[in-house]
A and B are shown apart, each in its own frame.
Chain A
Amino acid sequence: MNPNLCTPQDHRLSRRQWLGATGAMALGGLSLPAFAEELKKKRKQVLFVWLDGGMSQLESWDPKPNTTFGGPFRAISTSVPGTHVSELLPQTAKQMHRLAVVRSVSTQDNSHSAGVDRIQRGDPKNRGVVYPYLGSAVANWVGAGDSGLPPYVWIKPGNGGFIDREAGFLGPKFGALALGDGKPPENLIRPKELSMADDFERNELRKLADARYSAGRRKENTEANSFAFDMAEQLQKKLELFDISKLPAKDTQRYGTHDLGRHLLLARRMLEAGVTFVKVTSYGWDTHGDHFNGAASLHPKFDKPFAAMIEDLAERGMLDDILVIAISEFGRTPRINGHLGRDHWPEAWSVAMAGRGIKPGVVEGKTNALGTEVASEPHDIGHLFHTWYKALGIDPKKSKYQNAGQPLPIAHEDMHAVKEVLA
């Protein structure tokens, strides 16, 4: 074995690696007036709300009350005359004039293991390469801008760290910086006992070692190592972004104190500060059992902060620049099982979106009376990727990835944008 060749494990950035040694510069804070400055910079940004496990379309965007599979809940009117959503989304109903809902989503996988990946990678044709998740792809196409923050931030429950697997063939540099439990990475602040000068010296030494290690190795992987340290350095300058305690109490009330509420509020801060792509994940939506009581608990915890986010982005004039997407890996079965649950259902479900490039107040596509079939042109995730790229001003028909000299389409080439939801 060639000793100069490394293994993939060598380049896997452990949490300790990326959190532990960072180049510390002066701790400059981003003041609130600076937020306003950031707001002035018109950019392409994305908020991607991922409801992991599968949100039920029947208890959210496509209710079918008084039908065989309709469940116990009512449909309610929205701010768009003639459009109804489940009674479990009362706040979002008031923001419907700012949203577009595709009710004709029909995808391929009814398992989490395949669905999570394929939905977030856009399920392109198989070319023997691993496509990037949407966040990594947008980080690649749009870049970090001049916010001084990483381009792809993932706010999630549980552990954080630098998640490079989402980047696929783009390489680890386009991975996600995950903020576990919405907190900044641990050990981000230079320890008191380490002087600024010593820390600077240590960092220079690290860079030298990196450069030596990089010689003769694949550029993408070694770049990612430096990138992780650079991100840490950038974040140190903006730690107050994470301190939501200084926000008005009414913000906390409007978003809620549960994980999803806190994380969406932090996401708003990240978007205000100029992060290109913010993904917020909520786990636990796989309601195979006691589904209706589960939905009664879960859906309002999405509804309230999501509606608050849409309202806030609109009021701040940010919805013109930020594409908002609320999605899962699939919907849930119309059929109600014996545990009063709904199982996995990719056949006919819904995705909601708003903001940049999206026509507001639109419902595209429909399902049949029982919700068991798409009753209009079905739309796969490839159609939605085309739609989102177009909304961001990226031409999905002309833009190509270059993977080691191989041109690759950025979205499934047999599909097209859902023009009915494009502004």
Chain B
Amino acid sequence: MIPKELGKPLTLPCQSSRIRFGPEGVLFAAGHDGSVLRWDVTGKEPKPLPTVKLHNGWATALAFHPKKPLAISADSHGALIAWDRTADTPTPVWSQPKAHDGWLRATVVHDDRVVSLGRDGFVRGWNLDDGKPLRELSLGVDIFSLAVAPDGKSFVVGDLFGNIHVIEWDKWKVLSKYEVKELHLLDRIQDVGGVRALAFKPDGRSLFVAGSVPKSGGFVQGFPLMVELEWPSGKRLTQWKGAADNEGFIHDLLWLDEGFLAGVTSGQPGQGRLFVWKPGDAKPLFESTKLPNCHSLARHGKLLAHSATNANSSGNGKVKGKDGDYPANSSPIQLWTMA
């Protein structure tokens, strides 16, 4: 299970914290400029597709209708928008501009619903076809991550304080709550950490919970941590904790059907990696640090992609670029083939 690098990284005009493959194999990146960037990566060379500009703030989350050509994207100003993912210049098929009060953190499509969650502490369900509101639940805390259980009977959301709330799909009520308390720290007056990524094993026997064991606020030093919980008991099974406190967070997780987990980490500028880990092993069997500060990863068939950050992304004061300008950073995306 060793990924093999495919060509040079794709370049983006902005930073991105979320990438996903659509069902047809098009790669989507949610940009910090509110755009959704697209590439057709089914051919020999990645081919850029027209950029979609429907959002304010940061585009933050992506999901896809399994049967219709709809993409569902979200932003940090609270909007949730469905649009024709095959169109060059798509317009909203439906839109919920105030789906959440501010930062919409994550969204997922399952059955006939879209589930979204936000910094406002709400988990909301929407009709996939027309966007009408269906369900709502307030957890009263900042929530980051979301995953649907393989049996479809429940889904889980992870919050700032290291809690994982298990929510019944039909009745939309909290069934139980698990804790991975190491994923949160109150440092002075700053709450640091949170459950940043959740992934189920497809056999429905394990839930993987990831984030950072923070050592401090401010700089946010911390060790990446991933914990395997037995599902549905919540009993802790295996875990992997990074060796360095400058490596920060596991920001995204992906179960690979070959029996492995892939993840990305980002910590102090220059730190971070793509890794592949076999649950129970002491350390990952594959790691790539070629691109630092990695924030997301996605897979389609044999293709794997991960987004990172350009080198030399930090600096106090007015750090100048080559042309004497004040440059923004960007998020190169590396494609891999799964051997």
Residues of A within 8 A of B (CB): 53, 65-66, 68-74, 87, 110-111, 157, 258-260, 282-290, 293-294, 296-298, 301, 333-341, 343-347, 372
Contacts and interface: CB of A to CB of B under 8 A. Distances in A.
A284 B218 contact: yes
B189 A301 contact: yes
Given A289-B218, A335-B326, A345 B316 contact: yes
Interface string B86-122: 0000000000000000110000000000000001000
A74 B77 contact: yes
A71 to B, nearest CB: 8
B337 to A, nearest CB: 25
B293 A338 contact: yes
A294 B192 contact: yes
Given A87-B102, A157-B188, A339 B266 contact: yes
Given A111-B316, A338-B266, A344-B316, A290 B220 contact: yes
A177 B216 CA distance: 28
B187 A337 contact: no
B285 interface: no
A339 B56 contact: no
Given A284-B188, A338-B310, 15 more contacts: A69-B328, A72-B32, A72-B57, A73-B76, A74-B57, A283-B188, A293-B142, A293-B192, A294-B220, A296-B142, A338-B266, A338-B329, A339-B266, A341-B314, A347-B318
Of A66, A293, A298, A344, most B-chain CB atoms within 10 Å: A293
B326 A372 contact: yes
Contact of B189 (A68, A260, A288): A260
B315 interface: yes
Interface in B202-235: 217-221
Nearest to A290: B220
Given A282-B189, A289-B267, A294-B192, A65 B57 contact: yes
Given A74-B102, A260-B189, A337-B269, A65 B316 contact: no
Range for the number of chain B residues in contact with chain A: 35 or more
B163 interface: no
A284 B266 CA distance: 21
Contacts, number: 155
Contacts of A283: 188
The 4 tightest CB contacts between A and B, nearest first, are A338-B293, A72-B76, A338-B309, A289-B220
Contacts of B102: 73-74, 87
Nearest to B188: A284
Nearest to A300: B189
Contacts of A298: 189-190, 217
Interface of B: 14-15, 17, 32-34, 56-58, 60, 76-77, 102-103, 119, 142, 160, 187-192, 194, 217-221, 248-249, 266-272, 292-293, 295, 308-310, 313-319, 326-329
Contacts of B76: 72-73
Contacts of A290: 192, 220, 248-249
A257 to B, nearest CB: 10
A70 B299 CA distance: 30
B57 A337 contact: no
A66 B79 CA distance: 14
Nearest to B77: A74
B269 A338 contact: yes
A336 B293 CA distance: 12
Contact of B317 (A53, A260, A338, A346): A346
11 contacts: A71-B57, A71-B58, A72-B57, A74-B77, A289-B221, A289-B267, A333-B317, A338-B314, A339-B269, A339-B314, A341-B219
B17, B272, B317: which has the most chain A beta carbons within 10 Å? Answer: B317
B188 to A, nearest CB: 4
A286 B327 contact: no
A53 B218 contact: yes
A308 to B, nearest CB: 16
Nearest to B214: A290
Given A73-B76, A284-B218, A339 B248 contact: yes
Nearest to B13: A68
A297 B191 CA distance: 6
Contacts of B318: 347, 372
B221 A73 contact: no
A372 to B, nearest CB: 5
Given A69-B328, A258-B189, A339 B267 contact: yes
A304 to B, nearest CB: 11
B190 A66 contact: no
Contacts of A287: 217-220
Given A336-B15, A340-B17, A341-B314, A284 B190 contact: yes
B326 A344 contact: no
A345 B14 CA distance: 21
B57 A66 contact: yes
B33 A338 contact: no
